[in-house]
Structure 1
């Protein structure tokens, strides 16, 4: 059975570029063929600012949106975060989503497809990695960084990757698979 990979769209901003980049990566990961891939859009989930009265470590969720998010996070064996960079950091919707649950993230690898201007979202990824480590997620070093993303959009705002992006995506997925398999015993013992 193939490990489950959730490709998480981190930007919720209207007109976001992350949607087209996320759809590209979702399709690319599906064609890779080693994962069961699901596209998870934080804009569709529309999680309110953290509103649970109990600490997430207790798993005493009161709200249906939290229970649904918990099930989504728990179901994955690995994650790829499709993330922009806002003021040298992660988008607020991602920070909020990470904080909603705790145990559900543990012992899973994470990769990144980042995009932005000159930095290609790299500064946001560095901050995101710190938060993920606190949740017992293993952020891998391989990633796809899309610098000056506008040059890869056509007239309809569809993303057309360069050869560099597709090679990086293949490397990311291959390494993510290794980590997902290596961490499987830890995930199983934590259930």
Structure 2
């Protein structure tokens, strides 16, 4: 598919901790996306978004209002998440909970990282949350285990070839689902 009608991909960097690894993983993933002409990327770094953790305030805080249209415009999402205490960070839950309709009937893929499990427990927990929002999570995941030792000083994974192949599989599946769901949303809105 060429760039005539590219998909809008939102890449969400989910950690806001000081000294976080998220930007390294996200930058590597963005390098994998860069050659593709079938996607336009919007990077949403939650450390910059500064979303309030007190939900349901009225009027909607300006930080929340600024993020909503970016999520709404996306045809697909890639969530870059660490694993904290066998789950995902509170900053991601805050983002998800402030928004509802923006996620619906769109595919969500994951790039995860962490220690022994490589963030996979965070991914499994996120699958349940996104199912409740009628979002379609993908089976394929890019997972980095043993962070930061599995990356070199330049921010490249030591097993670069295998990770690049995993990213290609993820992107191919994600774009298929994104296109199918975008077409379905356009053809038939739920009442």
Using the size of structure 2 for normalisation, the TM-score is 0.90
Does residue 39 in structure 1 map to residue 43 in structure 2?
A: yes
The count of corresponding residues between Structure 1 and Structure 2 is 184
* C-alpha distance in 2 between matches for 1:134 and 1:67: 22
* 2:169 aligned counterpart, secondary structure: helix
* C-alpha distance in 2 between matches for 1:50 and 1:165: 37
Bigger proportion of residues as helix: 1
* C-alpha distance in 2 between matches for 1:3 and 1:142: 19
1:185 to 180, 183, 186: 183
Using the size of structure 1 for normalisation, the TM-score is 0.90
Query: Mind listing any 5+ residue stretches in structure 2 that lack a counterpart?
Result: none
Conserved 8 A contact 1:50-1:100:
no
* 2:44 aligned counterpart, secondary structure: strand
Write out aligned runs for 1:1-191 (5 A): 1-53=5-57, 62-155=60-153, 158-160=155-157, 162-188=160-186, 189-190=188-189
4+ residue segments displaced more than 3 Å: none
Q: Deviations over 1:58-105 (max 9, x none)?
A: xxx632212111111101000000100000001110011000011111
Deviates further, 180-189 or 66-75: 180-189
* C-alpha distance in 2 between matches for 1:89 and 1:16: 16
